[in-house]
Structure 1
Amino acid sequence: MAAVDPHEAKRRLHAPSEIACLDVREHGQYGEGHPFLAVPCPYSRLEAMVAALVPRRDVPIILVDEGDGLARRATKRLAALGYAEIDWIDGGAPAWAAAGYTLFKGVNLPSKTLGELVEAQWHSPAMGPDALEAWRSEYRSFQLFDGRPAVEFAKMTIPGSRSMPNGEAGHRWEALAPEGGPVVINCAGRTRSIIGAAGLALMQPGLPVLALENGTQGWALSGRTLAHGVAAAPLPAAQTAASRQRADAFMAAHGLLQIDRAEADRLAREPGRTTYLLDVRDPTEHSAAPHAAAPSAPGGQLVQATDQWIGVRRARVILADDTGLRAALAAFWLRQLGYETCVLAGIDAWPADWRLPVEPLGRRHPAALPEVAASEAVSRAREGDLLLDLRGSFDYRAGHLPGAAWSIRPRLPAVAGRGVLLAGDTSTTALATIDLIEAGAVSVHRIAGDAQGWRNAGLALETSPDAPADADAIDFQFFVHDRHDGNLDAARRYLAWEMGLLAQLDDAERGEYRLDAIDLRAGCEKVGTGFSR
C-alpha cells in the first residue's frame, strides 16, 4: 500500500490486466473533474458500495482523492474488508491534472463516450426537432419511443413519445411492430438516443431507426414544449419464442457467447479473474422473481451507467435474462466498452438459492446504532452533545433539527470526549461512527425518523438556504444540475460537454474501446431525406 505518481497510475490503468480505480471523493467533487476510468465510490458510503463494485479482494486498486489524505484513510477501511493490493495517486486529482492528464467533468464518462463514438464511427442516423415536426405535419407513420426508465419519462418527455426503456423494444417487438413505419428514439440528451436507436437497428436489420438529436433538451432548446407528468404505460408482453429466435440470430451475427449455469460456476471460480453476474430484465420482472445470484441491472441503464455496477476494468460480465435477447444486447454493448461478456439465459428457471461463489467479506461496519427520539436529541444537544446531520446538504438546507450542524464523513468535526447524535440513514450513520469512535467520541446515537416524521411529531425545523455554502456541499453535483428544470443555458453546456468528449480523449483512453466495424446508414435509406447522418 503506497502512493504512486500519476504517470505510473496512468500506465497501470491502461495495462492489459484487471484494475479498479476508485474515486473516494464525494459526488460533487467527482463531477467537477476525475480521471477517465475512475469509478465513483465516495468515502461516506465506501464500505456499503465497494463489495459490489470490486467483488474480488485481491484485484489491484488505485484510489483517487483531492490530495488531502482521504485516500490513506480509505485504504485502512478497505484493508479491514480484506482488500490486499491498494495504492493511491500521490497528490490525488490535482496531481493528475498537473501531470498533464485530463480531469473529466460529469459522470458515466465511458458510457457517454461510447454514444459519441457510435455516432461518429457507425454513422448512426439522427433527426432534429424540425424534421420530426415535419413528419407529424405530413401525417407520416412512425413510432417515437423514450428510451429512459419510466420515472425519467414521467418527469419530462417529447409530446407523443411512448415509454420504452432501451433494450426492451427488441424483446417486445411483436407487440410494437403492427404500428409500422420508422422508429425514432429519444432520451434527455444524446447517449441513450444514440445507443437505443443503434441497438434496435442491429436487432431488427433493415428497420429504419433514428435517434432524436439532443433529446428532450434539444426539443426545449428549439422553443418547443415538453410533456410533464405523463405516466408510463405498462410494457407490452413479449412473445418469448420470437424473442429467443431473435436472440439466437443476434448472438450468431455478432459472435456473442452463451453459457449455462455450470460454465458460469466454472468461470466465477477462475483464479485471478473478476466475474460479475447481472440481471438485465426490466426491474418489475426482477422484483417479481428476484434471484440472489444476480442483482438488478436493467440493460439500458447498465449500458448508460456501467460504472454504477462494474468497478473493475477488463473484468468478465455475465448478463442474465429469460430469453437471452436483452442479455445479448447488453453483452454486445459492454464488449464495445472493453469487457469480456457472456450470456446466461433462462433466469426464470434457476434454483432460487443458486449464486456465484463469493469471497468472505471482512468487517463492513458496526451493528445498528442505538436510537434516540428527535425531541430527546434536541434536548441533549442543548446540554452539550454534538448534533450532526449527515443527510444530503440540500436536504439539510430544506429543514433540519434545531442546533444541528451539517457534516459528512470525510469532514467530521472534532468529537473527542463528546457524545454525538447523528441524523441520517442507518448505513451512512453507521459508517461515520467508525471514524467518530476512532476520533474519541464517548457515545454515538442515531436520531430516529426523518424530516417528515420530525415535523409530524410537532418539531419546528430550521431552514438554511445558504448553509452549507455551495463550496462546502461536496456531496452535490452542481455541474449543469438544473438542465432538466428549465435552465436552457445549462442544457446547452451539457450538450456541448457530451459532444466535446471525443476531443478530450488521449490515445490510451480511446484504446479502451473495442468497436466493431458497423455502418448504420443503410437501414434508413427508405425514409428518404430528413435525417442528419
Structure 2
Amino acid sequence: MGRGSLRASLRAAKHRSRIMTQYISPETLKAWREGTAPYAAIDVREPMEFNKEQIYRTTNLPRGWLEFRIEVLVPVKDTPLALVDGGEGRAERCAETLAHHGYSRTAVLQGGIPAWKEAGLPTVSGTNVPSKEFGEEILHEDRIPEIEAQELNALIEGGGPLRIFDSRTEAEYERFSIPTGVSLPGGELILHAWDMDQDKSSPLIINCAGRTRSIIGAGALHRLGVTNARALRNGGMGFILAGLSLDHGKKSEIPQPSGRSRAHGEKLAARLAEEEEIPSLSPDELRALQEKSGSETLYLLDVRLAPEFRKGHIPGAISIPGGQAVQRTDEVAAVRAGTIVTYCDANARATMAAYWLRRMGLPNVYFLRGGIAAWDAAGLSSETSSAPADGESPSAGG
C-alpha cells in the first residue's frame, strides 16, 4: 500500500472512530410516540421479521434499502430518528451509514424489540397495520354494509344486473380478480360517483384482496351519497377461503367516468372540503413549503394513476394513487408530524385522499387547490419521470 493510500485509510478509520452510536431506551421511544414533536422510527429488519412482530407505527426499511429510500421517508436530516432491530446489531450498522449521509440525530433502540417487550410495551403483527386498524374503525363507526363471498358468488352465478368494482391497483387486479369485477382503483371512485348513483337497484360491490380498501372504497361512496354500495367481506381472500373461483390474468381496463360524473366529483369534493374543513394550499403556498423542505418535513403525494404521474408531475412528488395512500400510509409518511399535501389533476381525488388521511389522525394534511393544472397555470415547472411508478408501491419522481 502506498503512502497516499495508507493516509486515506487512516483518515477513514479515524472518522469512523468519531461516530459514536447513540442509544435511546424503550421508555424514551414511548415518550416520543406519545408527544407531538416530529420524529421517525425505522425498523431495519427484513419484511418477514417485521410483519411477524413490530412496534406500532414504525416504518419498515430493511438495511439493504436504507440508502435508497431514507431521504424520501425522512427528508429532514436533523429529525430525531430511532432505529429498531432485533437487538443483534443491525441498527448500529445502519446508524453509522446514516451518519455518513448527514443524519445527525439518529439513535438506536437499546436492546431492540426484545428490550421493548421486556419493558412491558406492546407489539403488533401484520402488514400496513395502522391502515388496517383504521379500516376496521371505519367499518364500525360509519356502519359500512358488507356482503359475504357466498352471497356475492350466488349473485354472479344468477346472471342478474350486478356491479363489482375492484379498488386495488391495476397490477393486483391482473394477478387475480372476482369474476365479472371491473378494475377501478379506490382513489378514482369519487369521479364515478354520479355514474354509479344513476342505478339504485343493481347491487354495487367494492372489493379488494382483504378488507381495508373494500371498506374505505364503500365508505367513500357512502360519504359522497352513494348509499347502496357494499364492501365485500374479506375481499378476494374471502372467495379463496370459501373455495370459490377467481379470475387470473384478466387485463385491467379502468373505465372512464362520464363528463357529467367527473364534474359532479369536483362539486362533491368542494362540499366535502367545506363540511370537513379540509385545508388547501395555492401553488405559491406549496412552492413556499418546498423551499423550506430542508428544515421542515414535507410529503407531496400525487394521488393520480401512475400513467398520469409518469407523463408529468410536480418536482419532489411521490406517486401513490389515492387508495394506496390510505392503504400504505406507513410506507410514505415516516414522520407523522410532517406536512402532507395531496394533489391530482384538479381537486376531487386529492380532497378525498386528504379526507381519509385526516381521519387517520395525521395532523397536518392539505390538498393542492386546483391540482397540477393550477400549478402549471401559475408558471411553475413540472417534470416527467424515469421512475418505475406502477401505482402499487410508493414511487418518488426522478
Contact 1:20 1:312 in 2 (8 A): yes
* Maintained 8 Å contact 1:167/1:199: no
Query: Residue 289 of structure 1 contacts residue 348 of structure 1 at CA under 8 Å; is this kept in 2?
Result: no
Q: Aligned to 1:310, which of 322, 333, 336?
A: 333
TM-score by length of structure 1 reads 0.63
- Local SS of the residue matching 2:299: strand
Shift in alpha-carbon separation, 1:139–1:235, aligned structure 2, 3 A: closer
Report the AA paired with residue 119 of structure 2. Answer: A
- Partner AA of 1:324 in structure 2: N
Residue 186 (structure 2) aligns with: 166
Render the CA deviation track for 1:456-478: whole Å, top value 9, x for unaligned: xxxxxxxxxxxxxxxxxxxxxxx
2:303 counterpart residue number? 280
Determine the C-alpha separation between the residues in 2 that align with 1:124 and 1:214.
Answer: 13
1:325 correspondence with 2:348 = yes
Cα deviation, 1:11-65, whole Å, max 9, x if unaligned, reads 2122111110001112222122110111011111111100000111121111101
Kindly tell me: are residues 271 and 152 of structure 1, through their superposed partners in 2, closer, same or farther at Cα, counting changes over 3 Å?
Answer: closer
Displacement after TM superposition at 1:350 (Å):
2.6
Could you tell me how far 1:101 is from its partner in structure 2? 2.1
Q: What is aligned with 2:16?
A: none
2:162 & 2:271 partners in 1: Cα distance? 25
Asked if structure 1 preserves the Cα contact closer than 8 Å seen for 2:149 and 2:239, the reply is yes
Shift of 1:272: 6.0
* 1:263 counterpart residue number: 285
- Give the equivalent residue in structure 2 for 1:394: none
Question: Paired residue for 2:267, among 229, 232, 245?
Answer: 245
Deviation at 1:135, TM superposition (A): 4.1
Which structure 2 residues correspond to residues 415-426 of structure 1 after superposition, within 5 A?
none
Q: Superposition pairs for residues 113-132 of structure 1, below 5 Å?
A: 113-132=133-152
Asked whether the 8 Å contact 1:156–1:229 carries over to 2, the reply is yes
Residue number in structure 2 paired with 1:217: 237
* Offset at residue 182 of structure 1 (A): 4.2
Matched with 2:314 is 291
SS, match of residue 278 in structure 1: strand
1:277 is matched by which residue type in structure 2?
Answer: L
The residue type paired with residue 265 of structure 1 is R
Q: Which residue of 1 aligns with 2:223?
A: 202
Q: What CA RMSD, in Å, does the superposition of the two structures yield over aligned residues?
A: 2.2
**Distance in structure 2 (CA, Å) of the matches to 1:267 and 1:183:** 41
Given that 2:75 and 2:294 are in contact with CA atoms closer than 8 Å, whether structure 1 keeps it comes out as no
Q: Deviations over 1:241-300 (max 9, x none)?
A: 333212111211221112101222334428964221110001121122233242211111
SS in 2 for 1:167: helix
Report whether the alignment pairs 1:341 with 2:361: no
CA distance in 2, matches of 1:27, 1:138: 42
1:437-476 mapped onto 2 (5 Å cutoff): none
Counterpart of 2:140 in 1: which secondary structure?
A: helix
Higher relative helix content? 2
Note closer, same or farther for the CA distance 1:260–1:235 as it changes in structure 2 (3 Å cut).
same
Q: 2:212 maps to which residue?
A: 191
Task: Calculate the TM-score normalised by the size of structure 2.
Answer: 0.83
Distance (whole Å) between structure 2 residues aligned to residue 258 and residue 292 of structure 1: 19
Name the structure 2 match of 1:111.
Answer: 131
Distance in 1 (alpha carbons) for counterparts of 2:254 and 2:241 = 30
CA–CA separation in structure 2 for the residues paired with 1:155 and 1:138: 25
Identity %: 33
CA–CA distance in 2 between the matches of 1:295 and 1:343? 14
Shift of 1:342: 0.4
Number of aligned residues = 354
- Indicate the larger mover: 101-110 or 304-313: 101-110
Per-residue Cα deviation, 1:315-373 (whole angstroms, up to 9, x for no partner): 21000111211111111111122212101032134348648xxxxxxxxxxxxxxxxxx
Given the superposition, is the C-alpha separation of residues 226 and 210 from structure 1 closer, same or farther in structure 2, using an over 3 Å criterion? Answer: same
Q: Is the 8 A contact 1:19 1:59 kept in 2?
A: yes
- Secondary structure of the residue that 1:171 maps to in structure 2? helix
Q: 1:148 aligns with which of 160, 168, 180?
A: 168
In 2, distance between residues paired with 1:140 and 1:20? 51
The 1:238–1:59 alpha-carbon spacing in structure 2 relative to 1, beyond 3 Å, is farther
Equivalence for 2:30 = 10
Provide structure 2 residue ranges, at least 5 long, that are not aligned to the other structure.
1-20, 383-398
Structure 2: which amino acid aligns with 1:241?
A
1:24 aligns with 2:44: yes
Q: Residue 102 of structure 1 is aligned with which of 88, 100, 122?
A: 122
For 1:2 and 1:120, locate their aligned partners in 2 and report how far apart those are by CA, in whole Å. 43
Give the structure, 1 or 2, with the largest relative contact order (CA under 8 Å, sep 6 or more).
1
Change (3 A) 1:271 1:285: closer
Q: Secondary structure of the residue that 2:320 maps to in structure 1?
A: coil
Distance, in Å, in 1 between the alignment partners of 2:300 and 2:203 is 34
Cα 1:293/1:90, change in 2 over 3 Å: closer
Verify the 8 A CA contact 2:45 2:62 in the aligned structure 1.
Answer: yes
Instruction: Tell whether the 8 Å contact from 2:191 to 2:257 is kept in structure 1 after alignment.
Output: no
Contact kept? 1:43, 1:74, Cα under 8 Å: yes
Give 3-state SS (helix, strand or coil) of 2:280's partner.
Answer: coil
